[in-house]
DNA sequence: TCTATATTCAACACATCAGTTGATCAAGGG
DNA sequence: CCCTTGATCAACTGATGTGTTGAATATAGA
């Protein structure tokens, strides 16, 4: 899975906001419009509309057309790109820890 | 794995910067000091020092003491908390997609 | 066509962030 | 006890982000 640096910037920045994370959670249960996404929050729909644009620019969601509505859809592959990036370094670190543990145990004996 | 909302804010925001991501990559290969982390970048050590503080506040790294040096260490569990959060919603979305595919296939027949 | 609904654009205020320079603190080595 | 090295603090600047209000656009429906 290849993502350019800018996409990582935008994706992580997109998730660094509780409102957008709540939208992600909501969208995991199915598509939703601006109005539906705005409902739980005490902010204007314009603000929600821009949150959606941020998520879309990050590639985390796509939008379709349904009459006047512009439903949002989560893109699981984009989420997977993030976990891949993180896991690469987490797994390397864990491997290193295990190697060090093994070395310490050898020293003891 | 339980993380408060603020930790998610700080963690994702911490990763939304290419300099800090490069530091994470470097630290996955072993501990490093401020000076070592600063080396690849054309910015001052003060700036690097603050990037490190951001990573530490996010819980992504810890620091130890070695004489004058304050080596940084990656915390794999903190990375794992992020992938868990993301995967919850990615997997839910993928399950939903599969259910919809199955339904469509049923309609056809 | 006229009106209501869904969404977006534009311009502004305010806060936060990443970087700088200069001063300061802490630990080791002569 | 100096002096050097590693690291941090403080104050400032410019850029970016999140929210607001008010106007504009687009589609649906009577």
What confidence tens digit (pLDDT) does each residue in A40-86 have?
999 999 999 999 999 999 999 999 999 999 999 999 999 999 999 99
Q: Select from B30, B79, B96 the Cβ nearest to the Cβ of A86.
A: B79
Residue-level pLDDT at B104: 87
Chain B's closest residue to A73, CA to CA, is: B93
Which residue has the closest alpha carbon to D9 C1'?
B46
A80 shares contact with chain B (CB less than 8 Å): yes
Establish how many alpha carbons lie within 13 A of residue B65's alpha carbon, considering only the half-sphere containing its beta carbon.
Answer: 2
Name which of A76, A91, A95, A100 to mutate to probe chain B: the one with the most chain B Cβ atoms within 10 A of its Cβ.
Answer: A76
Residue range B10-65, pLDDT digits in tens: 999 999 999 999 999 999 999 999 999 999 999 999 999 999 999 999 999 999 99
Residue-level pLDDT at A105: 85
Length of chain A as a residue count: 109
E-assigned strand segments in A2-77: 61-63, 72-74
- Fold of domain B5-108: Arc Repressor Mutant, subunit A (1.10.10)
pLDDT at B108 exceeding the cut of 80: no
Residue range B78-101, pLDDT digits in tens: 999 999 999 999 999 999 999 998
pLDDT at A106 exceeding the cut of 90: no
A47 shares contact with chain B (CB less than 8 Å): no
pLDDT at A12 exceeding the cut of 70: yes
Rounded-to-integer distance, Cα A89 and Cα B43, Å: 24
| CB of B68 within 7 Å of some strand D atom | yes
Where exactly are the structural domains of chain A? 5-108
Q: Select from B8, B27, B97 the Cβ nearest to the Cβ of A21.
A: B8
Comparing C-alpha atoms, which of A62, A67, A75, A70 is closest to residue A35?
A70
């Amino acid at each position: 899975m290849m993502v350019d640096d800018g996409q990582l910037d935008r994706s992580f920045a997109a998730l660094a906001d509780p409102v957008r994370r709540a939208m992600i959670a909501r969208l995991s249960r199915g598509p939703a419009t601006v109005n539906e996404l705005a409902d739980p929050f005490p902010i204007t729909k314009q603000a929600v509309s821009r949150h959606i644009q941020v998520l879309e620019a990050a590639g985390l969601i796509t939008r379709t057309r349904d009459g006047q509505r512009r439903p949002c859809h989560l893109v699981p592959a984009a989420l997977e790109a993030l976990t891949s990036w993180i896991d690469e370094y987490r797994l390397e670190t864990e491997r290193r820890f295990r190697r060090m543990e093994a070395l310490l145990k050898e020293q003891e004996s």
